Amino acid sequence: MVPAALPPTKLLIIGGAEDRVGKAKILKRFVKLAGGRAARIVIIPTASSFQDAVVAAYDEVFTRHGAARCAVVNPRDRIAADDPACARLIDEASGVFMTGGNQLKLSQVFAGTAAGDAIRRAHARGAVIAGTSAGASIMSEFMISLGDEGVTPRQRSSQLTQGLGLLSGVIIDQHFAQRQRYGRLMSIVANSPNLVGIGIDEDTAIEVTQSQTFTVLGRGAAYVLDCRRAITDAPEARSGAPLLVSGAVVHSLPAGSTFDLAKVVLLDFVEQHPDVGITVTTAASSRP
């Protein structure tokens, strides 16, 4: 007997401050991936300090773009996150959206609880899982929960916390260029060169398919930091000292770029030229 094909999986990982009042292209894409008018969306505002306002704002934009039903899952603590009612709502969803706020709070409530397990099940069965800002960071197995900002990577400038593990082998950072988070992401990747760093600008997202390839959407860029063959003084550097990192590879990927996370290489770049109506496609993997 031929085994049944696994359902296609999608993650929509947003760098924060995405457009909600204009064309809202990224959020419109989320609704489409969740099923459009048939979408059953769950909003998780747990990370936010303004939960009622955040729920109202996302409910408005999702229904404006065609979603007929939005539910809310908002456990106060880990005990509440083990309530079967929370898991049941997520199990019925075709799209789950985690808002921004405090990513440490999000990790404290969801990682290793029934609600967190339901998000993992939803992803495995093909529901689209989206998150912005804090909701983006928690997608990976380990996430940045605290850290200094700035361009220079420094030893012990960041803290890692357990994430949901929807995307393995990576560390995600958000508000990347706007809050100068290059240094903290590079410091983590230099210390753990088996991990690939992904930094995402505001109003920008990566759409991840089958946990292997992603395409960049939105106004800014996504950055991939690869230290697999870099030289670093991380084992000897004192706390707070600038890190030596030589030979790291950094990919700056605007909208239209498609990247292979397994091979850590650019696959395609598609650029639309509105002035002449021409689409140019380059396949980096086929170049000499």
Residue 255 has pLDDT above 90, yes or no: yes
CB of 271 closer than 8 Å to CB of 284: no
| pLDDT (tens digit per residue) in 63-121 | 999 999 899 999 999 999 999 999 999 999 999 999 999 999 999 999 999 999 999 99
- Torsion 71-32-203-262 (CA) sign: positive
In the prediction, which pLDDT does 4 show? 57
| pLDDT (tens digit per residue) in 168-226 | 999 999 999 999 999 999 999 999 999 999 999 999 999 999 999 999 999 999 999 99
Residue 145 has pLDDT above 80, yes or no: yes
Q: Confidence class of residue 285 from pLDDT cuts 50, 70 and 90?
A: very low
Query: pLDDT averaged over the chain?
Result: 93
pTM of the model: 0.93
CB of 175 closer than 8 Å to CB of 181: yes
In the prediction, which pLDDT does 20 show? 97
Rounded percentage of the chain residues whose pLDDT exceeds 70: 92
How far apart are the C-alpha atoms of 145 and 149, rounded to whole Å?
12
| pLDDT (tens digit per residue) in 70-84 | 999 999 999 999 999
Catalytic positions, please?
Answer: 133, 175, 202
